Amino acid sequence: MKRVGRNPPFTGHKRMAMDIQSDISNPNVGAAIIFGNYGTPDNSNTFQFRKGGEKDLDNVQSVFIKSLGFDWLNKDNSHNLFINQWDHTKIRASGQIGNCRKCLKCLIKNTDFKRYKYFVLAISSHGFSEKGEQFVQFLSSTDYALLSLSEVLEAISDKQCPTLAGKPRIVIVQACRTDSEFPDLAEDHGVVFNLYTEQGHEEFPVNALLKEFGHLTIDESNAGLMDTDEVSEDAAPPTARQGNVGSIKVLVQADEKDETKLKIPNNFLVIYPTAPYRYSKRNETEGSWFEFYLKEVVDEYEGHSTELDFFQVLTETNQRVSNRETVVYKRNSAGKIQYDPGTESPSRDEDKSGKKNVVWIEHRITQPLVFRLASGN
């Protein structure tokens, strides 16, 4: 299906007066650590294969390396990492021998960031939460190798990296946030408002309601297939149906319990692809929803603007993610899509379809994040 293009988001938008000017004259104003764990199709280790997960790496590096001109510090050490490749002291957990010269934690600690204005660390992997702590999984030949988000934030803290002190740090954690203590919160089915109109008569003030909630997803999808980290299917975005009967689906806000609130240090921006306790959504062709739409939004600036406000980009990205829902079709024992008899239409799996996501952002940023596009220099 051909994706309908959009005008560049926020084009012509007047930002609030800023005392800080975007005086970036060098495209390499930021440093980046970007890596993705997606495993192998044969599941030869304890890491379950994430089909489409490799696209997350492509999409994130397209945003920060290609479009924004950041330096990719770990370009040669960014795919399918064992835990010791993050921290060489974690040899037992990975079953592999560590090498401090390639350990990302040591690379960060030993890098002089004085010439950089910004830092981004992006992780794409399996994950879950437990007692308010977020964990991401690394490859291992022996057992499950896990890294806590607290350890990640500590590795790029002012204490561990004095040359990053006072500089904005963006952390993207592309992983599920489910918690075994709250299984009922793992999926967001949304709340559906059914609308019905008769010829020449509106049983409800539909037009007014659509005007009020027009930015939300219409609960009707095309032949696309979407997925979660547990259900891997091809996908395409939903489309609104024209007619007398329709639905509006509204996201259900996750319960924000105190134990889910990670203590975010000053000058940190932490981005999750989903709300606490929920699965993150991934498409096996496009990659995870958040990274796909982040790249799409930034690409729309190319050729139309010389700079972008990152918080505006996140707002637009969040809108597109929240407007999407899973559409999964039933498959037979051979893995082929089943079709309804007589209609030749794919048979929709209602139990797995209609799931939602919303981007979750926590930050203590005290200055504008305005980046100059590399193409604009």
Measured CA angle at 69 (ends 64, 75), to 5 deg: 65
Q: How many CB atoms lie within 10 A of CB 209?
A: 14
Nearest by Cα to 29 from 111, 120, 105, 97: 120
Amino acid at residue number 294: L
Nearest by Cα to 169 from 151, 152, 192: 152
- The DSSP letter of residue 99 is -
Average pLDDT of the chain? 78
264-320 pLDDT tens trace: 899 999 999 999 999 999 998 999 999 999 999 999 998 888 999 999 999 999 999
Within a domain: residue 8? no
Within a domain: residue 14? no
Within a domain: residue 25? no
Within a domain: residue 74? yes
Contact residues for 16 (Cβ-Cβ < 8 A; gap 6+): none
- Out of 61-70, 159-168, 201-210, least confident range: 201-210
pLDDT at 10 over 90: no
Nearest by Cα to 373 from 80, 22, 9: 22
For residues 367 and 364, what is the distance between their CA atoms, to the nearest angstrom? 9
pLDDT at 172 over 70: yes
Q: How far apart are the first and last CA of the chain?
A: 35
For residues 139 and 196, what is the distance between their CA atoms, to the nearest angstrom? 51
For residues 141 and 49, what is the distance between their CA atoms, to the nearest angstrom? 14
List the structure tokens of 272: 């999750």
For residues 70 and 54, what is the distance between their CA atoms, to the nearest angstrom? 20
**Residue-range definition of the domain harbouring residue 328:** 30-376
Within a domain: residue 133? yes
Name residue 281's beta-bridge partners.
228
Q: pTM of the predicted model, to two decimals?
A: 0.77
Number of independent structural domains in the chain = 1
For residues 60 and 69, what is the distance between their CA atoms, to the nearest angstrom? 12
List the structure tokens of 287: 């990659």
* Model pLDDT, residue 147: 95
Within a domain: residue 20? no
Name residue 145's beta-bridge partners.
138
- CATH number for 316: 3.40.50.1460
- Cα separation values, 77 from 8, 31, 98, Å: 34, 15, 13
Within a domain: residue 22? no
For residues 336 and 371, what is the distance between their CA atoms, to the nearest angstrom? 45
Contact 173, 149 (CB under 8 A): yes
Within a domain: residue 4? no
223: confidence class by pLDDT, cuts 50, 70, 90: very low
Higher local confidence (pLDDT), 106 or 43: 106
For residues 139 and 49, what is the distance between their CA atoms, to the nearest angstrom? 10
Contact 63, 290 (CB under 8 A): no
Q: How many CA atoms lie within 13 A of 111 on its CB side?
A: 23
